[in-house]
Amino acid sequence: MLKNLDLTYHGNQILRMKNFKKDPKWTSGNELQYLKQVLANDKTIKSNPFTDRLERAFCETYGVNYAIAMNSATSAIHVALQVLGIKSGDEVITTPYSVIMDSSIPIYMGAKPVFADVQYDTHNIDPKSVEQKITEKTKAIIAVSYHGLPYDIDGITAVSKKYNIPVIEDNAQTQLVKYKSRNIANESTFALFSFERTKHISTGEGGILVTNCGHLAEEARKFAGLGFMNLTSSKSKMVAITPKDFQRPDFLRHDRIGLNYRYTEFCAAVALAQFERVNEIVQLRQNIGKKYDKLFEGTDFEPQTVREGYEHSYFSYGVKSPFEDKKHWIDFYDFHLDNGGDDFYAMMQPAYKEPIMDSLRYKSEYDGSCPIAEKVQKRSMLFKTNYRTIEEADLYLEKLRDTINNY
């Protein structure tokens, strides 16, 4: 058995166990075949067939009309806000319980992030708090489906419609799941997904922006594609340009300002190969999530609640630990690693506590304004679900069980 494991030792004690019996997800499908096709055909890079196929696959899977692949999900947030016309003086409501990009991009654009609190049980943005934060300056809401669990779509959509405010659905950590038997990514103005290295679909970096509005899709594709005037809502409708056209001295290319957020064909080939197996990839994480459910039953740890009608894709398995202070959190962490357990991590501090936010005076304005997010963050423990096999997960979950029983 040990010959199939990569072991890390501390003295004579095994600290890490990794099962390498199966290929990693990025080479167990059509990845290598598709990459060879990209390399073998110089026209592939110009015509982007894999990017086109990836975008169409997302449209078909989620039931949306348009998809635009980009070089990162962060770029997708920027593009969505740009197309919605966010400008200096506007306000964008978001959650502090997320990565900083959901608040730093509005700041970069001259707007102000306004932080709404989260629900204690789901860790996701609270529609009631969102409504309380709305002013005449509110121009967008960024709602995050955290850890892989959809946010309260009905609640946020109701607020959006009541005040006529567009919603950007951040599904960077979420794939494939349903919300009350409905597809995610369909009831917001924009939705985005991530292909960063730890996500369900992983190409190192990358993202995709989806929408049901043709006008917004065309504006998004143009802004992400250097403002080329031949770009349209979908690649299949793109105005064809021949090399002869391009080389003419009177040829004009750009009809608006745009940035280069385009996705590479190499990454698109890998993303498509993985998306062809997305059911398998998500199912593995869901199966691992069920094992965590059973492990934490009867303990003082509180897992993120999956409400009735919600499905969870388990980017990570989030719990609220029984430890209210940093010392006990760290002691438990160290004890677990010394016991041979795998790494886990805390949710990052609420965005407004970061040093850059302090220097911009957001900390002084918002510190203490989202008490639930701050309470959940202090106790948060996020456990890995991106194991390659159930057998590998079982090894580490057994170590976690030992840690909980003996700490």
List the catalytic residues: 199
Give the residues across from 6 on adjacent strands: 18
8 Å CB contact between 235 and 48: yes
Burial 2-35 (b: 16+ CB within 10 A, else e): eeeeeeeeeeeeebbbebeeeeebbebbbbeebb
CA-to-CA dists, residue 167 to 55, 141, 170, 171, 252, angstroms: 21, 5, 9, 12, 35
Torsion angle of alpha carbons 124, 63, 308, 392, nearest 10°?
-80
Single-letter amino acid, residue 236: S
The strand pair at 178-179 and 182-183 is best described as antiparallel
Name every residue whose Cβ is closer than 8 Å to that of residue 348 and which is 6 or more positions away in sequence: 99, 100, 377
